[in-house]
Structure 1
Amino acid sequence: MRHGVTRAAGLVAVVLLGATAGQAEEAQHPWVVPSPRAGKETYFSNLGSGARIETPFLLKFGLSGMGLAPITRPQARTGHHHLLINRELPLDFSKPLPFNEQYVHFGKGQMETVLTLAPGDYELRLVLADDKHIPNFVYSKPMRITVTKKNADVDPASVSQPGVELMLPVAEAAAGKPLQLQFHASRLNVSHIALQEKGTGHFRLSALRDGAKPETLDFPGGQTEAWIKPPPGRYQLKLEFVDNLAPAKVLAAAAPQEVTVLPK
C-alpha cells in the first residue's frame, strides 16, 4: 500500500510540475496587451502592394497573433511561413500545401527570403501552416509588385546578414494607447521554446527608463510581434535574440531605439 501511495504522490508531483511549467511558459509581462487588430494574420513588413523593385531583394515576413516554430512536431498557437507566388489561396485548407517553385516553404522558422524573380509582374501571398504544412487560416492580403530588373552580378547571399531588428511603426505613443513592436531575425530561426530545437531562438526585449528599474519582456512562444502599454516616460528599448537551449546565451542584438510614451 505504501508503494502505491508513494507512486501516486510521484505522479501528482509530475502533473503539478508540468502544469507549473505550462503556466510559466504562457505567462506574459504585465505591459503586454492583446493586439487591437481583430484576428490573426501574416504580412510583408518591408514591402507594399504596388512596389517596383530590383532583384535580388530581401523580403521580410511578419506575423500577428501567433508564434513561429519549425516543423519538428506539433505546437499549439504556432506555424511556419509559406510564400505563394502567383497563386490564389488554397480552396481546401485541410490538405497540405504542395512543394514547388510557386509554394516556397520556410519550415525552420525563417522570417525572410531573398527574391530572385525575373522582370515582370507578380502577386505574392503569405500563408501560415502547421508542422504538417496544413494551412491554419492565417494568411496575408495579396501583394502585387513589379520586378523591373534582375541584377545577375549581385550574389543573393550578400543581401542578408545574420542579425535582428526592432521595428517601431511610431516613436511616440499616447498614454493608454498600445504601442506596436515588430521583431525581425535575419538568417536566424525562430521557435517556440517548448520544442527545444537546436539552432533556434526567441526574442527578448529590455526596456530602460530613467528612475525606474529595467524591465525584461520575454517572448518564448516564437512571437515576432507584440503590443505593450508601458507607463509614461522615455524608454530605451533593446531587442535580443536568445538561444532556446541556453536562454542566457545571446545570439544577436539590435541597436537600442528610443520611444516616448506621453503622459495623459
Structure 2
Amino acid sequence: MKTMHPTRFVCLLAACLATSAQASPLPRTDAERTCWQRYTRERTRLDLKELTAVSFTNLRSGYRVRSPFLVEFGIKGMGVVPAGKALPGTGHHHILVNTRMPPSVSEKLPFNDGHRHFGKGQTFAVLDLPPGRHTLRLLFADHEHRPYFVFSPEISVEVTGKRSAEPLKIDPASFEASCASWYQDELARPRGPGEWVTVTNVRDGEALVSPFTLQFGVEGFGVCAKGQTADRTGHFMLDVLRDGRVVQALDLSNGATQANVFVPVGSYQIRLRFVDGKTQRDLLPPHEQGVVVTAQERL
C-alpha cells in the first residue's frame, strides 16, 4: 500500500476544513448578548423608503468609536463594479471625510484625504482618524469617479482615542449607557486579517423577524457585476435553506451587496458564496450560519 506524503495529507486536511467559513458567534456573555439583540431589528429591517441608496451599514450619526474603526458600505438599487469598468447601473464607493459634497457631478472626484476612493470594488474600509469629531458621507460614483446623485446622509462620529486589544465592557449597574458604548465599539471593531466572505450584520444563531435584510462583505477580493471583468473580483450568491432544502436562492450577479429574505417562522441555514463571474466557481470558502425566524412583520 502506497503511503501518502505527510505534506500532501496536511494539504488535503486543510482543504476539508476550509469547506465553509466560520460564522461570527453571538457575544459570549449574557449582558453582551442582550445588548446585541436589542439592536437586531435596527440592523436587519427592510428600508422601503428609497429604491436607490447608499448607507453606512454599521455606523450611525453620534457614534463614539476608537480608531482605527470599521466602516461598512451598503448599496441598493445599483451594483458594484471596480473603477475603470463601465457598466450601466453600477459604480463604486467613496467616503467624504470632513469634506463637503462636490459642487459638480460632471467633474471627477480628486484623490486626497478628504475623498477616499474604493475603486477595487471594496465593501468596507478601515479608517484611522485622530481623536475628535469627524464627518463622513458615502458617495457612489461611476467608472471615471464622477459622482451619481446617490449618496448617504452626512454622519458625525466621535473618535475617543486609540483602539486597544481590550474590549469595552458592559456594566450591569449602568446597563443602558454601557450597552450603547459597547455596541458602538463592537460594530466599529475591524475584522481579522485574511481572505473571507461573510454576512456582516447578523451573527450565527441570531433571532430575526422576517422579512429581513442581510448585508455582505468580502476581504481579499472586490465585487464586480456580471458584464465586466477585473482581476480578483466576483459576486455574491445566497442560499437560504430549511431542513437541507433551498427555500430562497439569489444570484447577485448585478453586483449587489445585500439581499432581502422573506421566509416563515422557523430555523434556517444561510449559505453565502463569493464566485467568479464567468465560471460560478467559488473564490473563497462559503460562509455558513444559522438564523432563527421568530416572527413575521407585515409590510
**Shorter-chain TM-score above 0.5:** yes
2:110 aligned with 1:60, yes or no? no
The letter for the 1-side match of 2:99 is: R
Deviation at 1:241, TM superposition (A): 1.1
Deviation at 1:229, TM superposition (A): 2.5
Alignment pair present for 1:196 and 2:229: yes
Deviations 1:111-156 (A, max 9, x none): 1111111112100111000001111111111110111213599xxx
Partner of 2:96: 84
Q: Provide the residue aligned with 1:102 in structure 2.
A: 114
Q: Percent identity among equivalent residues?
A: 37
One-letter identity of the residue aligned with 2:58: N
Q: Aligned pair 1:118/2:151, yes or no?
A: no
Q: What is the Cα-based RMSD across aligned positions, in Å?
A: 2.9
The equivalent of 2:18 in structure 1 is: none
- Which sections of structure 2, spanning at least 5 residues, go unmatched? 1-45, 166-189
Q: Distance in 2 between matches of 1:210 and 1:257?
A: 11
Aligned to 2:217: 184
- Give the aligned partner of residue 258 of structure 2: 225
Q: What is the aligned counterpart of 2:53 among 38, 41, 46? A: 41
**Deviation string for 1:83-105 (max 9, x for gaps)?**
10111111212221111111011
**Partner amino acid, structure 2, of 1:134:** R
Distance 2:198 2:292 in 1: 15
Is 1:72 the counterpart of 2:72? The answer is no
Give ranges in structure 1 of 5+ residues lacking alignment. 1-33
Listed as ranges, the matches of 1:202-241 within 5 Å are 202-210=235-243, 212-213=245-246, 215-230=248-263, 233-241=266-274
The one-letter amino acid of 1:243's match is: D
TM-score by length of 1: 0.75
State the distance in 1 between where 2:239 and 2:147 align.
34
Structure 1 runs of 4+ off > 4 angstroms? 157-160, 211-215, 261-264
TM-score, with normalisation over the residues of structure 2? 0.67
Do the aligned residues in 2 keep the contact of 1:168 with 1:180 (CA within 8 Å)? no
Contact 2:73–2:124, Cα closer than 8 Å, also in 1: yes
State the partner residue of 2:209: 173
| Residue pair 1:198, 1:244 contacting (<8 A) in 2 also | no
Cα shift readout 1:14-64 (whole Å, capped 9, x = no counterpart): xxxxxxxxxxxxxxxxxxxx9623232111122221112221222211112
Contact 2:273 2:282 in 1 (8 A): no
Residues in 1 aligned to 2:292 and 2:236: alpha-carbon distance in whole angstroms: 19
Cα-to-partner distance string for 1:189-246 (whole Å, 9 max, x where unaligned): 1110210222101111111113845543211011011223345543211111112243
The AA in structure 1 aligned to 2:129 is L
**Matched letter for residue 103 of structure 2:** L
